[in-house]
Amino acid sequence: MSSQRTPRPTLTLVYDGECPLCRQFVRLQRLRRDVGDLALIDARQESDARRELSEQGIDLDEGVALRIGEHWVHGSEALHRLALMSTGSGLFNRLMARLFASPERTARLYPWLRRGRALLLRLLGRESINNLRRR
């Protein structure tokens, strides 16, 4: 009997499942339809992806992570890549594609998005993801 492994998706997005803005972004992006084989992983749940990112020192409190093939991108680069993958269907997707099409603009805006997320989580009484186990 040969052991066959299920191939992992070409794309994996790790995002904060307790952040209302992050959940809404993922829902509105319609990523599964637009890019095909995409795994959506909640960064707050134990998973192979979370362990892999933690081993690489990628702080999930600092932003989303996107695996494209075998390579991870994080934060503003991940958001920029997602914008490039969007088909631009619907008003939200067109706006996101236009807003984050430039890597420079995305890098300038991303710290503000991250601060807004941190403030929202604090107001909601939510803990940090803390995948790097900082104290």
Mean per-residue pLDDT, 47-53 = 95
Six token digits for residue 94: 């067109």
Q: What share of the chain is helix, strand, coil (3-state, %, to 5)?
A: 50, 15, 40
Instruction: Name the region of 97 (left: φ>0; alpha: ψ -120 to 50; beta: rest).
Output: alpha
Whether the pLDDT of residue 135 is over 50: the answer is no
2 has pLDDT over 70: no
Contact 17, 47 (CB under 8 A): no
CB–CB of 37/31 below 8 Å? no
DSSP helix/strand/coil, 68: strand
**Assigned token pair, 107:** 């890098």
**What share of the chain has pLDDT > 70, as a percent?**
84
Average pLDDT value for residue range 55-76? 94
Is residue 34 classed as helix, strand or coil in its secondary structure? helix
pLDDT at 69 over 50: yes
Output the six-digit token pair for 49.
């992806």
**39, pLDDT greater than 90:** no
pTM: 0.84
In this structure, are residues 12 and 39 in contact, taking their beta carbons and an 8 Å threshold? yes
